[in-house]
Amino acid sequence: MKSRKILLFVIIASLVYGQNKKLTFQQAFYFGQPRLTKSLPQIKGWLDDEHYLELSVRDGKSIIEKVNVENNEREVYLDYSQIGLPEGFNLNEAVINNDSYTKFIFERDNNLYYLSVEDNLFKKLTDDEAEEKNPKFSPDGKKVAYTKENNLYCYDIENEIERRLTDDGGDLVYNGRASWVYMEEILGRSTNYAAFWWAPDSRKISFLRFDDSPVPEFILVKADGQHGSVEKQRYPKAGDPNPFVKLGIADLEKNNIVWADFPDDNDQYIAWPVWTSDSQLTVQWMNRQQDTIKIYRIDVKYGSKRLLHTEHQKTWVEWFEDIYFMKNNPGFIIRTGLDGYYHLYLYDGKGKLLKKLTEGADINVTSLELVDEKNNLVYFEGWSNNSTERHLFVVNMNNNKIVKLTDKPGTHACNLSPNGKYFIDRFSCINTPPALLLYDANGELIREIGNSKSDIFDEYDLPKAQLFKIKTEDGYDLPALWYLPEDLDSTKKYPVLISIYGGPNAPTVRNSFPYRLEPQFLAQNGIIYMSVDHRGSGHFGKAGTDLMHRNLGKWEMHDYIEAVKWLRKLPFVDTAKIAINGGSYGGYVTALALTSAPGYFNYGIAEFGVMDWMLYDNVYTERYMDTPDENPDGYKKSSVLNYAENYKGGMLIIHGTMDDNVHMQNSIQLIDKLQRLNKEFEMMFYPNQRHGIRFPHYFHAQKTIAEFIFKNLLNKELSTD
């Protein structure tokens, strides 16, 4: 019966397509002209609860407009062309600005420059050869903090005084600048290594101090010039020692530093210091096993700590990245997957649980967006019942009543005004490009701000995406989507490309429009483009992700094989041409599929993937796998290298030579193994490229991938016209 339904869908889908224009390779892979989508308006934030700021370009000049929410009246808030700057400076190139766009910082020749629009003032702040990194305004806008030569500095703009707050920074000690593994796995890439935070009263700065001396060194080789060069990186791999980390509080008035009272132990993690509105400090601590997390209040005068909250899980815990501390009382809200799904919990100022604000497997909170303490409302994003969607919700803290504020099926990413009176929604679904929509607090549409759908979009025959589920033998309904060729003939055979990522709690099947038009282009050329998510990808809450503990690769392969078994039952699928591709964790899964399950996967493109978890960083790897000493069997079973003998061919391996995240060492070791076994494969290395292939090499990489797909799945050459 199920096969008949699939056939009926295929027949109907093939009839609804017209005879309009077809995508070119340039449009699909290179963002070439003519573009089917256009840029959305650039919203620069909320000025207040009644106005937002929008950046536009008129006659080649940048202008920030102040837009009234209710009547759409616009007035020029900042005209870039009217700001007098010295020759060579451009307001678009400012490295930071304050929220109201009245103060800016520029970098030039390793020095900082300051602009005050209100005071019509431009001046040079620093004057030396050392580079100032990650400048940040103090909340009152009177100072700028930054790091230089791995020390923390503060510049008093009014009095034109630079102060060095730490003095022991060097090659292995970093004050206010993160060790690599902290930046990558704990604080996040968006920090750009910054590890310092202003207090709301602008009188103190909390910062992390890192000592990388215990961390093993990894060498990246650059082949440029006659003799080449090397880049040395402190990179702790699975089982390796971590950096020593301390939390410091720099008091700008007393001109001293207070250190938080943590033991000098590198088998711990200290991160995510958060200042409360009254300039009190909290920080989070996690053990090396990553199964216990604690929140401490830190006495900023003496450094003593007081335990506020503890959470323990059998598998692993996660940082409270969107923790919220109340302004009107000492309580706080956290988001955690402690009960199997992610929910919001309200605690009092002493760490006592007051209530769960959300509950049940039918709702999952992905982020805490805004707390309206006056009206006891908490806004959050997440999903209810349908895990492929993202919506905005609000929950009343008094009665736990939850209201869904976005109703269109799809993916909503919302930006709320300061008090939640309005929100701007970036919305898309699988067959509809993104639009910006303005709503009031009740979810009533006020107007469309912008739409990325171009005037020529409807002139093209874009294959339509279809969301569905694949049931596993043990009862999991795996989310999946595909793009079928528009002229699909159910009596013929079509190759399949399965695009995946596969990492824990990292779904790829979303009811959202794709970033590129690659899926539609491949379907247009006769390839079934498909994505499917396994049970640990996040659709089944933290409980589903926990299944991956100590055995990365196991459930990914199990569920992707289940998907292939499902495909084999369809009469129009060419079972000899099933390909899989992905990058990073997806590169790992791709290589694992070609080596551990060659009977199901015929071709694969493995981009910059981890080939053995012994070769990846310890924070990420040990979170899921524990240490190699604690879980030797798990590391062995998860390694691509241990399945190389099963490999039958059909793999393209891609890597950047200067990848500082997933070292090229991973692909080199797999290649060496395959060569020793006399196995056939293809490879393409990109000089000086990091994690992911960037411009200008990006174009070559995309062409290489597309050519591989056409050659192996369609038995023809790719036309790049």
Buried/exposed 419-440: b ≥16 CB within 10 Å, e otherwise: bbebbbbbbbbbbbbbbbbbbe
Residues belonging to the chain? 721
Q: What pLDDT is attached to residue 20?
A: 81
Query: Is 310:292 a contact under the CB 8 Å cutoff?
Result: yes
Q: How many CB atoms lie within 10 A of CB 190?
A: 7
Asked if omega into 598 is within 30° of 0 (cis), the reply is: no
Strand-strand pairing, 651-656 and 682-686: parallel
Query: Is 626:657 a contact under the CB 8 Å cutoff?
Result: no
Strand-strand pairing, 603-607 and 651-656: parallel
- The first and second tokens of residue 373, run together, are 């303490």
Query: Is 146:107 a contact under the CB 8 Å cutoff?
Result: no
Percent of the chain with pLDDT over 70: 97
Q: Which neighbouring-strand residues pair with 392?
A: 381
What is the arithmetic mean of pLDDT over 698-708? 98
Q: What pLDDT is attached to residue 60?
A: 85
Coil, helix or strand at residue 159: coil
What is the arithmetic mean of pLDDT over 658-672? 98
Instruction: Tell me which DSSP letter residue 85 carries.
Output: -
Strand-strand pairing, 573-583 and 494-499: parallel
Q: Is the pLDDT of residue 18 over 80?
A: no
- The first and second tokens of residue 196, run together, are 């310092």
Residue 663 has, within 13 A of its CA and on its CB side, a CA count of 22
Query: Could you read off the pLDDT of 472-529 as tens digits, one per residue?
Result: 999 999 999 999 998 899 999 999 999 999 999 999 999 999 999 999 999 999 999 9
Return the residue matching tokens 């495909």: 567
Q: Which neighbouring-strand residues pair with 297?
A: 282, 306
Maximum pairwise Cα distance, the chain: 81
CA 243 to chain centre: 24
Q: Is the pLDDT of residue 16 over 70?
A: no
Q: How far apart are CA 223 and CA 207, in angstroms?
A: 37
**How many Å is the Cα radius of gyration of the chain?**
27
Q: How far is CA 263 from CA 81, 304, 305, 364, 679, in A?
A: 54, 12, 12, 36, 51
- The first and second tokens of residue 564, run together, are 């292939």
Q: Which of 156, 178, 164 has its CA nearest to residue 257?
A: 164
Q: How far apart are CA 304 and CA 298, in angstroms?
A: 6
Q: Which neighbouring-strand residues pair with 499?
A: 581
Query: Could you read off the pLDDT of 188-223 as tens digits, one per residue?
Result: 999 999 999 999 999 999 999 999 999 999 999 999
Q: How far apart are CA 532 and CA 588, in angstroms?
A: 16
Q: What pLDDT is attached to residue 5?
A: 52
Q: Which of 434, 410, 404, 437 has its CA nearest to residue 422?
A: 437
Q: What pLDDT is attached to residue 59?
A: 85
Q: What pLDDT is attached to residue 319?
A: 98
- The first and second tokens of residue 710, run together, are 């056409």
Query: Could you read off the pLDDT of 458-480 as tens digits, one per residue?
Result: 999 999 999 999 999 999 999 99
Q: How far apart are CA 399 and CA 49, in angstroms?
A: 26
- The first and second tokens of residue 600, run together, are 């199901």
Q: What pLDDT is attached to residue 14?
A: 47
Q: Is the pLDDT of residue 155 over 80?
A: yes
Coil, helix or strand at residue 340: coil
Q: How far apart are CA 351 and CA 438, in angstroms?
A: 37
Q: What pLDDT is attached to residue 8?
A: 52
Query: Could you read off the pLDDT of 387-417 as tens digits, one per residue?
Result: 999 999 999 999 999 999 999 999 999 999 9
Looking at every residue in the chain, the average pLDDT score rounds to: 96
Query: Is 390:413 a contact under the CB 8 Å cutoff?
Result: yes
Q: Which of 618, 635, 610, 691 has its CA nearest to residue 214?
A: 618
Query: Could you read off the pLDDT of 68-100 as tens digits, one per residue?
Result: 999 999 999 999 999 989 999 999 999 999 999
Q: What pLDDT is attached to residue 17?
A: 44
- Angle CA 98–103–106, to nearest 5: 100
The pTM of the full predicted model, rounded to 2 decimals, is 0.95
Return the residue matching tokens 């800016």: 104
Q: How far apart are CA 495 and CA 575, in angstroms?
A: 7
Query: Is 66:462 a contact under the CB 8 Å cutoff?
Result: no
Q: What pLDDT is attached to residue 2?
A: 46
Instruction: Tell me which DSSP letter residue 646 carries.
Output: G
Burial tier of 247 (Cβ tally within 10 Å: 0-12, 13-18, 19+): buried
Q: What pLDDT is attached to residue 567?
A: 98
Q: How far apart are CA 363 and CA 343, in angstroms?
A: 8
Query: Could you read off the pLDDT of 610-640 as tens digits, one per residue?
Result: 999 999 999 999 999 999 999 999 999 999 9
Q: How far apart are CA 344 and CA 439, in angstroms?
A: 24
Query: Could you read off the pLDDT of 270-314 as tens digits, one per residue?
Result: 999 999 999 999 999 999 999 999 999 999 999 999 999 999 999
Q: How far is CA 95 from CA 107, 151, 192, 402, 587, in A?
A: 7, 20, 12, 40, 34
Angle (deg, nearest 10), helices 554-568 and 585-596 = 60
Q: How far is CA 216 from CA 219, 234, 238, 650, in A?
A: 10, 6, 11, 36
Q: How far apart are CA 618 and CA 613, in angstroms?
A: 9
Query: Could you read off the pLDDT of 222-255 as tens digits, one per residue?
Result: 999 999 999 999 999 999 999 999 999 999 999 9
Asked if omega into 139 is within 30° of 0 (cis), the reply is: no
Q: Is the pLDDT of residue 7 over 80?
A: no
Query: Could you read off the pLDDT of 547-597 as tens digits, one per residue?
Result: 999 999 999 999 999 999 999 999 999 999 999 999 999 999 999 999 999
Instruction: Tell me which DSSP letter residue 617 carries.
Output: B
Query: Is 346:358 a contact under the CB 8 Å cutoff?
Result: no
Q: How far is CA 410 from CA 15, 355, 391, 652, in A?
A: 25, 30, 8, 34
Q: How far apart are CA 693 and CA 658, in angstroms?
A: 10
